[in-house]
Amino acid sequence: MNGAIPLVEKAPPAITQTGLNGANSRLARMLRAGEFAVCVEISPPVGPNPEAIQREMNTLRGYAEAYNVTDNQSAMVHVSSLAVSIMLMQAGMEPVVQFTCRDRNRLGLQSDLLGAAVFGIPNVLALSGDHPIWGDHPQCKAVYEIDSMNLIRTIRMMRDNQVFENGKTIPKRAPDFFIGAVENPFAPPFDYRPTRLAKKIVAGAQFIQTQLIYNVPRFREFMKRVVDMGLHEQVYILAGVGPVRSARVAEYMGTQVAGMDVPDWVAKRLEGLSKEDAAKAGIDICCEVANEVREIEGVSGLHIMAVSWPAAVPEVARNLGLYPRPVLEGDPIPEATASS
Amino acid sequence: MPVRDIWQDRPAVLVWTWEATAAVLRFMRPVFEKLGMEQSSKIVKPPEELVKHMLFNCQDCAQCLLHYNGMTCPMNCPKNLRNGPCGGVRLNGKCEVKPEMDCVWVLGIERIQKTPYINEMYRLNPPVDWRLEGQASWVTYALERDVIPTGTDTTVRYATEAMADGTVLADGSVVAKGDA
């Protein structure tokens, strides 16, 4: 073969086994200790405003093991996930840096992963990302050069085998990450979703955060199949919950947001209430759902997403009896106390 | 409903045609090896293009997943997912980006149940090697250049690895220890 494109890509002669598994992650230690873990989502601001990030951090500090920092949420341009994750690290709050395949090819993704490793960011969450058509730059070219499955695989090989996606060795040391992925139990084909979860586990996912749950019966069905397949013993599943502020938001999420299943009863319960009452009812609904899902076999924790409503998180966490967070033995990071 | 659905929803004929094509391609391998991938592609690509564009709306990735996805081209996915479907599929099975289009992965998983490749739904498809884009996938198939995983993986892996013993698979077989 003399073609310009090589016929056979060579795997490295000796495959290194680094034995790393995300041990630096407090979230991982919490889950491995069998504690019910909590993750909370932080949305970086649109403007380069460190005070806004600081405010959100102050509101949420102490309510979770780790804080998911979204990556250009809803395909709208925001401060980068990596930058805000670094701010969290410097403030002693553990981030889960999110990387979508929408904005970067494997070169960019791996470069950002190395950057995250340089700052000691212990958790990473790989996802495809909302399509730009939903965002504020619908005219842009979507990248999607590799899919989330292969991003997870790449991260796993970078960590376990100290190689890049091209098979070449990473000099000096391997990055150590606790690897996360997402799954949406509510998107068709429902029967295939647990299988796709199994694919992500084989790819390298160690924890899973689910789409926001309102349709509890559907989620229960999904988890039953997951448990039947024995997948819950190989991956920690954090159930996604979150409060909605008003009937209008509930309707919007149910009809306009991709991959969301919001049954009608949610909007009905919020309808006609005053702003304060609706907010209170929204938090109540979130807590009811959370209390139901935490009893389901195979659920290892909660992932609280209060989209553009961080102030609701402390109330949700307290109502659920998930605050204060347990302290682990040999915790190197002293758990900071919330100011409120 | 696109005309394509007429044959794609009844994949038996497509499967038979593919099996026959694959046999010919494997037979042709020494010729392709002698000519090289690019030269062979120049000859094979035009007829392949003619057939695949019409039948499947082929996107010329040259690492064909058709029979791994129920004879449905996954590169029609606006996110180019090789391991779909994404979490954005509408509750009615339509694409989140193109509401008038059926999700190619939802269709593929439905259709693969009617083919002998049913357990390929557990396959972890490696990423696209974009250098191959535009080559003939019939040639890359014959030369086994279409399935080379990247990094340290030397074989393609399957989701069944993660499943507990006794899990019943789509074709009715059961996961047993040592089965991968």
In sequence order, the 6+-apart residues with CB closer than 8 A to the CB of B177 are B165
Average pLDDT value for residue range A237-249:
96
- Residue A296: CA count within 13 A, CB half-sphere: 25
- Output the average pLDDT for chain A: 93
Predicted pLDDT at A257: 85
pLDDT tens string A307-327:
889 999 999 999 999 999 999
Q: Which one, of A173, A135, A178, A161, lies nearest residue A16 by Cα?
A: A161
Residue A41 has pLDDT above 80, yes or no: yes
Residue A145 has pLDDT above 80, yes or no: yes
Q: Which one, of A213, A181, A185, A204, lies nearest residue A287 by Cα?
A: A213
CB contact under 8 A, A182 and B124: no
Predicted pLDDT at B1: 58
Within 10 angstroms of residue A150's Cβ, the number of other Cβ atoms is 27
Predicted pLDDT at B147: 80
Among the listed ranges A48-52, A131-135, B4-8, B90-94, which one has the minimum average pLDDT value?
A: B4-8
Predicted pLDDT at A338: 47
Task: Quote the CA–CA distance of A244 and B27 in Å, as a whole number.
Answer: 61
Residues from chain B that touch A9, judged by Cβ atoms under 8 A, are 129, 148, 150
Q: Which one, of A101, A80, A215, A113, lies nearest residue A148 by Cα?
A: A101
A167: nearest CA in chain B?
A: B151
Average pLDDT value for residue range A278-293:
97
Residues from chain B that touch A189, judged by Cβ atoms under 8 A, are 85, 93, 106, 109-110
Residue A335 has pLDDT above 60, yes or no: no
Interface of A with B in 59-118 (CB under 8 A): 101-102, 106
Predicted pLDDT at B170: 94
Task: Quote the CA–CA distance of A269 and A263 in Å, as a whole number.
Answer: 11
Task: Quote the CA–CA distance of A191 and A173 in Å, as a whole number.
Answer: 41
**Of B7 and B30, more confident:** B30
Among the listed ranges A13-22, A212-221, A222-231, B94-103, which one has the minimum average pLDDT value?
A: A13-22
pLDDT tens string B117-144:
999 999 999 999 999 999 999 999 999 9
B85 prior amide bond cis, ω within 30: yes
In sequence order, the 6+-apart residues with CB closer than 8 A to the CB of A12 are A161, A163, A167, A168, A169, B152
Structure-derived torsion over alpha carbons of residues A304, A306, A312, A313, reported in degrees to the nearest 10 = 30
CA distance B23 to chain A (A): 21
Which of B69, B75, B83, B102 is the best substitution to test chain A (most A C-beta atoms within 10 A)?
B83
CB contact under 8 A, A131 and B97: yes
Within 10 angstroms of residue A59's Cβ, the number of other Cβ atoms is 19
CB contact under 8 A, A148 and B84: no
- pLDDT-derived band at B179, boundaries 50, 70, 90: very low
Residue A340 has pLDDT above 50, yes or no: no
- pLDDT-derived band at A1, boundaries 50, 70, 90: very low
pTM of the model: 0.95
Predicted pLDDT at A4: 62
Average pLDDT value for residue range A161-178:
95
Helix H or strand E segment including A139: none
Predicted pLDDT at A175: 98
Which of B40, B82, B131, B163 is the best substitution to test chain A (most A C-beta atoms within 10 A)?
B163
Task: Quote the CA–CA distance of A230 and A232 in Å, as a whole number.
Answer: 6
Predicted pLDDT at A146: 96
Predicted pLDDT at A339: 46
Question: Could you give phi then psi for residue A142, rounded to 5 degrees?
Answer: -75, 140
Average pLDDT value for residue range B15-32:
96
Question: Could you give phi then psi for residue A301, rounded to 5 degrees?
Answer: 180, 180
Predicted pLDDT at A10: 60
A257: nearest CA in chain B?
A: B88
Does A3 lie at the interface with B, CB-CB under 8 angstroms?
yes
Task: Quote the CA–CA distance of A208 and A234 in Å, as a whole number.
Answer: 11
CB contact under 8 A, A228 and B87: no
Q: Is B63 helix (H, G, I), strand (E, B) or coil?
A: coil
- pLDDT-derived band at A11, boundaries 50, 70, 90: low
Predicted pLDDT at A336: 52
